[in-house]
Structure 1
Amino acid sequence: MSNIIRPYGDTTGDGMVQLSFTLPIPHDKRSEGAAAQLAGKMGLDPVMVVHASQIGTSHTFFVVYGKANHLVNLDDVNVVERDYPLLTSKEVNSLVKERLGRKLVVVGACIGTDAHTVGIDAILNIKGFAGEKGLEYYRELKVLNLGAQVAVPDLVNRAIAEKADAVLVSQVVTQRDAHLHNTRELSAAFREALSPQDRPLLIIGGPRFDETMADELGVDQIFSRGTTPADVASYITHRLVSSKELVS
């Protein structure tokens, strides 16, 4: 099987793609021409404007459909693969109890001005996500969900006070790269407050994060779309218990 692929639209390898975007102009024939020209400069040829809808008085949302001539080499694709076993809640509880001898402390929050708690609640709250119970369900984990709009210094102080083993931060707001700025502020604050051996695991989650940026942002792990409580619990257990990096 070839590792060189093209997009699929009507027939295999025809290169057809659908693309949506917004332009800051009212909807008319000229705006549709501008949308087609933009798509052409992106490499779509031929291209069709298949949908246009005015937003307010001065913006238009477009959907275009066209042929991309670019090829993708699967050998050059760089992603973060899960390198630890996916554990059940029973397995996590058993490992923590047998090897750690105390409850593993997890502190979670949304930092900065981010008020979207859906992500952090899905991972931490007992009701969970996608049919999985959240970390509050794990009897050997002590979970503290600090909620939304938590200042970074307050999160650091609370993590230290609780002797947190892991800190989970969810970031949904991404305007002007707020999620990246907040994450860098978080990692810098923990580096300043604690030595590397005393610092808790820093785990960041959100739909717009690039999972390959963990080192660049100064955190231990980034989780993006589709993450479940089991993913996070298994990672924490692997890093802090299974690999024996934590000393009780």
Structure 2
Amino acid sequence: MSDVVSTSSTTRDGHILRPYGDTTGDGMVQLSFTLPMPHSKVAEGAAAQLANKMGMDPALVVHAKPMGPDFTFFVVYGRVNHLVDTSKVQVVERDYPLLSPKEVNLAIRKGLRRRLVVVGGCIGTDAHTVGIDAILNIKGFAGEKGLEYYRELKVVNLGAQVSVPHLVERARAEKADAILVSQVVTQRDAHILNTKEMSAAFRESYPRDKQPLLIVGGPRFDETMAAELGVDRVFARGTTPGEVASYLVDQLVTHRPPRTERRAS
């Protein structure tokens, strides 16, 4: 896994960017990755070679640290010639108003005249509940209270390693309006496979117009993949409880559209 860190400069048209590190427009970036070989001069040479093949020229190994006896972590600094056209960048922008807890509760009370039911958890073998707890638990995240704090929300947190059949069963038993699933384990695309399994199970178990809202989140999800995964919304890293609560109100109270745009994968 690698991580590119740099600032950027903007050309006159405001769309074409080139990264820079020391002087504006110099194209310098910093790249980190791990190679499966013990630390040595040969390993450092291999890291520089890899960086060269990725388009960094020159590439300078500025940090190398053994990660146990058989792996080495590297940081490489060098120049790239690539440009970024920001006019062609595709992202998912928030297309609903951000509401306060008071506004969320009022909207649900007036619009539904009952509590909105949310069932959440980590499916498959995923035992990392930090993400789902940050959204659901009252302690919340980033200074915001979690969904349990909202009076008009009934929150059922199933915790870790929830099987998809059990999730569907509890959703039906609780008459869930929305399903929130967190996936942190991503080896061999486990998060994608688990999400597709979940969405398929809900399609099979519910009539199309009766399905609960399906929401998935995690640090390695691409927010543009909702249709491909068969869910209504993908939330990436940094999402706050307030954003999720506002989205629930927008979809289940304010608009309540039939969610027929999901497609099987």
TM-score range, shorter chain: over 0.9
1:230 partnered with 2:242: yes
| Structure 2 length-normalised TM | 0.91
TM-score when scaled to structure 1? Answer: 0.98
Worse overlay, 1-10 or 94-103: 1-10
Partner of 2:20: 8
Report the counterpart of residue 205 of structure 1 in structure 2.
Answer: 217
The amino acid of 2:204's aligned partner reads E
Residues 1:195 and 2:207 are matched in the alignment: yes
* RMSD across aligned positions (CA): 0.9
Match of 1:90 in 2: 102
| 1:68 partner amino acid | V
Give the whole-Å Cα distance in 2 for the aligned partners of 1:64 and 1:196. Answer: 51
Secondary structure of 1:44's counterpart equals coil
After TM superposition, where is structure 1 displaced by more than 4 Å over at least 4 residues in a row? none
Q: 1:152: how far off?
A: 0.4
Shift of the alpha carbon at 1:56?
A: 1.4
The match for 1:214 among 211, 223, 226 is 226
Tell me the alpha carbon deviations over residues 58-104 of structure 1, each in whole angstroms, 9 at most, x when there is no partner: 11111100011100000110100000000001001001001111000
2:145 aligns with one of 133, 140, 145: 133
What is the identity percentage for the equivalent residue pairs of Structure 1 and Structure 2?
72
Give unpaired runs (5+ residues) of structure 2: 1-12, 259-265
Deviation at 1:245, TM superposition (A): 3.5
Q: How far 1:54 moved relative to its partner?
A: 1.2
The aligned amino acid for 2:213 is L
Q: Deviations over 1:194-242 (max 9, x none)?
A: 1111100000010110000000000000001110000100001000001
Match 1:61 to one of 63, 69, 73:
73
Instruction: Name 2:115's counterpart in structure 1.
Output: 103
> 2:20 aligns to what SS in structure 1?
coil
The CA deviation at 1:8 is: 2.0
The C-alpha deviation readout for 1:140-184, integer Å capped at 9, x for no partner, is 011000100000000001001111000000000101111001000
Q: How does 1:65-80 map to 2 (within 5 A)?
A: 65-80=77-92
Q: Which residue of 1 aligns with 2:8?
A: none
| Superposed CA offset, 1:92-125 (max 9, x none) | 1001001111000000010000000000000000
Aligned residue number for residue 175 of structure 1: 187
